[in-house]
Amino acid sequence: MVSVGRNEWFVFRRYAEFDKLYNALRKQFPSMNLKIPPKRIFGDNFDPEFIKQRRTGLHEFIQRLVSHPELYHHQDVRDFLQMNKTKNISDVSEDEDDKPTDFDFLKVIGKGSFGKVLLAKRKNDGKYYAIKVLQKRVILNRREQKHIMAERNVLLQNVKHPFLVGLHYSFQTADKLYFVLDFVNGGELFFHLQKERTFPEPRAKFYIAEMASALGYLHSLNIVYRDLKPENILLDYEGHIVLTDFGLCKEGISQTDTTSTFCGTPEIPPPFIPNVTSHHDISNFDPEFTDETVPSSVCWSPGHSFVNASVMEADEAFLGFSYAPPSDDSFQ
């Protein structure tokens, strides 16, 4: 884990990548006396004590990089620690009064019990997002507001992990809730499994390892996912998995706790890279969704010509739903 100020995130790198960066920096900054754990030629590389010592040494190396200004701003270090990725950095607008009219809604890319997921472009910066639009009436009729608020709470934790979809904003109008999420456009694992029928064993192992990492992170926060299925596993443009849909998550569950409710519905390169041609490419989504017309009601709310989502709470059932990340220029 990388920690800089109030920001924390995970970076997955193999020892060989650490060694490559270390050797490059050692030549450029010989006076800094940088160190990483030495290579182990003989012995068991899976020995728990050896792994623990190596992890501690690599963590100290990372902290040395981010604490020294000259290293911190070095491009190789920033690339290695993924410091320029928007998911790790709060680079959004300081205006927390987000509203549907801030976005151009382009295509339907998914449907669920409470609403739809749409591809949208933010007008002021041209960035693409997946926006989950939920109908309040349906949620209230099914008494599911606790699940929706739990999903919001879990999404706020996800920005720290690369294999979990991250929340950028959430806001509401009189009749709808909006989750503004990472647009992950490699398609659902279910979609690719339908086309290919089976995956080669190395590819399946790769996906399982990344899923285990994502679930392990949630477990470390005492969160149980409870809805693992191919439809909820997306592929990004590099071929990595991204877990989504956290409506059935259970918070505050320790290793000894149980639940009683019913629930339904690295350095190794990815073995499969989806064909993604641009940031707004939707060719890997099901045509059943993308062929559907974007409903005009997404951008308006009955009875209000203008809705300020952060100020005008529709009713007490969703108090505290609206969210925008704090402004933070620590990486600029």
Q: Containing H/E element for 280?
A: none
| Max intra-chain CA distance, the chain | 73
Q: Is 142 exposed, middle or buried (0-12, 13-18, 19+ CB in 10 A)?
A: exposed
Q: Rounded to 5 degrees, what angle do the CA atoms 149, 96, 89 make?
A: 85
Beta strands in 136-217 (DSSP E): 167-172, 176-182
**Dihedral sign from CA coordinates of 304, 309, 313, 315:** positive
Compute the distance between CA of residue 255 and CA of residue 253 in angstroms, rounded to an integer: 7
Active-site residue 91, yes or no? no
Compute the distance between CA of residue 142 and CA of residue 234 in angstroms, rounded to an integer: 27
* Beta carbons within 8 Å of 6's beta carbon, 6+ residues apart: 326, 328, 330
Active-site entry in 227, 281, 286, 328: 227
Q: Find where tokens 């290919």 sit.
A: 196
* Beta carbons within 8 Å of 137's beta carbon, 6+ residues apart: 175
Distances (CA, A) of 231 to 192, 242, 248: 10, 11, 14
Contact (Cβ atoms closer than 8 angstroms) between residue 184 and residue 115: no
Q: Is 132 annotated as a binding residue?
A: yes
Compute the distance between CA of residue 235 and CA of residue 274 in angstroms, rounded to an integer: 7
Which positions make up the binding site for ATP? Answer: 132
Annotated binding-site members: 132
- The residues annotated with a catalytic role in the active site are 227
